[in-house]
Structure 1
C-alpha cells in the first residue's frame, strides 16, 4: 500500500510540474505582421512577420521586439528612438488590418493573420 501511495504522489507531482512549466498552456501560436513606419521621413523602421501567442496585446509584442517608451496610461511615445513631438503635432497612430483601432495598444489582443501598422505622422 505504501508503494502505491508513493507512485500516486509522484504521478500527481509530475502532472502539476508539467502544467506549471508552460505558462501559456492551451494558448496557440499565431502569425501576425508588424509594420512600423516614420511617415515624417518616409522611413520603414520595421516590417516583420512574427509568431506570437494568441490574444497577446499589441503593446506586449512591441515591448518584446522593440525599444518602446510608454507614458502612464499606455500612451505610446517612442519606438526604436523615433519619438512623437507634440509641439509639431507628430504622433504615433496604429491600425489593424487597415482600420483604425478604438482601443489602445495595451488593450488590443492580436488574432491570427492580423496586420498591425504603426505610423509616426503629423496630424493636421
Structure 2
C-alpha cells in the first residue's frame, strides 16, 4: 500500500510544479509582450499626447544618444524649467547658460557647448526664455562650436 503513494505523490508534485511554472511563464510572456508593445509604440509612431513634449539629449550631432523623455506640460511652459525638472542640469550662476546635462560637460579647453533645436529648427532665444507648446520635439545636442 505504501508503494503506490510515493509515485502518486511524486506525480502530483510534478504536475503542481509544471502548472505553477506554466502559469508563471504565461504571465511573464504577457508582461514581456506588454513591454515590447509599449516600446514599439514609443519608437515607431512618434505620436505625443496632446499635452506632451519630447526632449532628446545627445552629443556630437546626434551620434551618441544620452537620454529621451516624453513629458506632460502646460501651454507656455518654459523650456529651462521643464529641462531642470526632468534631467540633471547645471548652469552658470545666472541660470542662462547650460554647462552640463546628465553630467555631460566640457573638459578644460574643449570648445563644445549644448545647442538645442525645437521641431528641427534652432531657436532664436535661450532655453530660459523659450515657451514650449504641446507636441514640440526638443533636442539638446552637446557639440563643437561652429
**TM-score, normalised via structure 2 length:** 0.60
Q: What secondary structure does 1:107 align onto?
A: coil
Any conservation in 1 of the 2:117–2:140 contact (CA below 8 Å)?
Answer: yes
Any conservation in 1 of the 2:73–2:134 contact (CA below 8 Å)?
Answer: no
Q: Does 1:66 align with 2:90?
A: no
Structure 2: stretches of 5+ with no match in the other structure: 1-49
- The structure with the largest strand share of the pair is 1
1:49 deviation in Å?
1.4
> Equivalent residue for 1:77?
99
> Equivalent residue for 2:128?
106
Distance in 2 between the 1:76 and 1:94 partners? 10
Structure 1: stretches of 5+ with no match in the other structure: 1-28
Any conservation in 2 of the 1:84–1:92 contact (CA below 8 Å)?
Answer: no
- The structure with the largest helix share of the pair is 2
**TM-score, normalised via structure 1 length:** 0.70
Distance in 1 between the 2:60 and 2:124 partners? 21
RMSD of aligned alpha carbons? 1.9
In the TM superposition, structure 1's runs of 4+ consecutive aligned residues that sit over 3 Å from their partners are none
Distance in 2 between the 1:41 and 1:96 partners? 14
Pick the aligned partner of 2:68 from 43, 47, 63: 47
Distance in 1 between the 2:53 and 2:131 partners? 11
1:87 deviation in Å?
1.7
Aligned residues: 96
User: Which has the larger Rg?
Assistant: 2
